Structure formats: structure tokens, C-alpha cells
Amino acid sequence: MPTTPPAPSTIRTLPSWLLGRAAARGRSLVAEALAREGLKMWHHVVLAAVADLGPVAQAELGRSVLLDPKDMVGVINDLQAGGFVDRAPDPTDRRKNAITVTAEGKRLVARCTRAAERANDALLAPLSAGERERFLEMLTRISGVPEDGAS
């Protein structure tokens, strides 16, 4: 990974700046791993959400991953073209589309999950097992993301 020039001394000790740098490095490592599986980050996020939530209304899916509806259409189109999801009228409300993961999509999610885990292992490699556990606990607390995934 290319080195980043040092930040001015007034900001390089700010937790927000350090978290941003760590997040950028993490995104880069995961994006590279997903690219080897043929996916971009948003494709992986949406596919994983469909695997967790599906069948799920397209609008609900967009809200759950905080993706703009216009962007969601393109991501779903790509995933459907790849054979990873099916889109059909929602049986409870035919005005809506229900998105379902396919068998191939489930296999891809599993491969991408392993690839993302390896990338995150590389990100956290400088930490001991105990430090990783404490870091993840603290990061969860300050991120505002509920531990159980509920909103």
C-alpha cells in the first residue's frame, strides 16, 4: 500500500483523523479483495443485505443499507445480470419489487465474506488477539452501530 504523507501535527493525533485513515485503509483492503471476486463494495453490501433480509422489498433494502434509490436500481440491475439476485413483484404488494438472493449469490456472499475477513485480518495484523477484541469493543461503542445489528 502506498504510504500517506504525514498529516500536520495539529490533526494527526485527533481520533477522528486516525479513524478516518484506518477506515480508508480498511476500505481499500476490502475493495481489493472484493474486486478479485468481481464485486464492488456497494454490490457486496447490497448482496449481503439481501442474503440476510430477503426476500426484501427494494425500497426497504435501500433504506436498510442507506443507499439512494437511484443507485440501488443500478446495483440491483448489476447483481441480477450476474445471476446473484432475482427481482420479482412482491407477492404482498405487487407495486413493489421483492429481491431474493440466488444460490449463486449465496455462494458469492460466502466467498466475499471470507475475502473481507482476510482483508480485515491484514488491517488488524499489528494488534494482538486481545488488542483486537478490545479495539472492536471500543469501536462498536463509539460508532453508534448497535452490536446486534438492530437499528
Rg of the chain in Å (alpha carbons): 18
> Does residue 124 carry a pLDDT above 70?
yes
Mean pLDDT of the chain: 91
**Grid cell in block for residue 71:** 443507485
Three-class DSSP labels, 67-117: CCHHHHHHHHHHHHHCCCEEEEEECCEEEEEEEEECHHHHHHHHHHHHHHH
> Percent of the chain, pLDDT > 90?
76
Over residues 20-47, the mean pLDDT reads: 95
Over residues 73-90, the mean pLDDT reads: 95
pLDDT in tens, 52-79: 998 999 889 999 999 999 999 999 999 9
The answer to whether the CB of 108 falls within 8 A of the CB of 37 is yes
Per-residue confidence (pLDDT) for residue 24, from 0 to 100: 95
The answer to whether the CB of 123 falls within 8 A of the CB of 29 is yes
Per-residue confidence (pLDDT) for residue 79, from 0 to 100: 97
CA dist., res. 145 & res. 149, Å (int): 7
The larger pLDDT score, comparing residue 30 to residue 90, is at 30
Per-residue confidence (pLDDT) for residue 95, from 0 to 100: 84
Per-residue confidence (pLDDT) for residue 10, from 0 to 100: 85
- Split at pLDDT 50, 70, 90, the class of 4 is low
